[in-house]
């Protein structure tokens, strides 16, 4: 598992890769103080099953260049809700209807939330 500082950088790399493939409504939830399961969720939306797969492919490609491989990947083939688990960072790529249905931001509303415009504000100095 990566250190918290590495998890922050990993979340930012994932966000950048998703945005490379035109992911929309990107959000990073900082779960470090509210969950022992993972440090961050990166959540974004793709317009179709093809778009969801393309976003996931880009994330895996970019992180592979950094020698990071997902521990698990689910739903990529069907493309309604794909999950890539990198240990301290879990990526959720939804189609709009699935994102609205599962509403992870509401379920984790007590976690600090960063958008694609504010990802550089994630605290790099946390232990």
pLDDT of residue 118: 52
| H helix runs in the chain, sequence order | 4-20, 49-65, 96-102, 104-107
How far is residue 108's CA from residue 106's CA, in Å, rounded to a whole number?
Answer: 5
Domain boundaries, the chain: 4-116
State pLDDT tens for residues 77-114. Answer: 999 999 999 999 999 999 999 999 999 999 999 999 99
pLDDT computed for residue 1 by the predictor: 46
Question: Number of C-alpha atoms within 13 angstroms, CB side, residue 86?
Answer: 31
User: Is residue 16 helix, strand or coil?
Assistant: helix
The reported pLDDT for the residue numbered 126 is 46
pLDDT value for 4 = 54
Q: What is the mean pLDDT of residues 38-64?
A: 97
Among the listed residues 23, 3, 7, the one whose alpha carbon sits nearest the alpha carbon of residue 122:
7
pLDDT over threshold 70, residue 61: yes
CA dist 36 and 100 (Å) reads: 25
pLDDT of 120 strictly over 70: no
Provide the mean pLDDT of the chain. 90
Q: Rounded to two decimals, what is the model's pTM? A: 0.88
pLDDT for the residue numbered 90: 98
Which residues, including other chains, have CB under 8 Å from residue 48's CB and lie 6 or more apart?
Answer: 79, 95
Residues 29-53 as b/e (b if ≥16 CB within 10 A, e otherwise) read: bbbbeeeeebbbbbbbbbeebebbb
Q: Domain 4-116 classified CATH 3.30.460.10?
A: yes
């Amino acid at each position: 598992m990566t250190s918290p500082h590495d998890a922050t950088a990993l979340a930012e790399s994932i966000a950048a890769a998703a945005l490379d493939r035109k992911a929309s409504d990107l959000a990073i939830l900082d779960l470090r103080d509210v969950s022992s399961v993972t440090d961050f969720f990166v959540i974004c939306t793709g317009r179709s099953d093809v778009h969801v797969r393309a976003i996931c492919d880009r994330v895996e490609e970019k992180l592979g260049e950094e020698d990071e491989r997902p521990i698990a990947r689910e739903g990529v083939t069907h493309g309604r809700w794909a999950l890539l688990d990198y240990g301290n960072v879990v990526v959720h790529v939804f189609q709009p209807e699935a994102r609205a249905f599962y509403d992870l931001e509401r379920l984790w509303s007590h976690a600090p939330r960063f958008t694609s415009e504010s990802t550089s504000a994630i605290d790099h100095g946390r232990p």
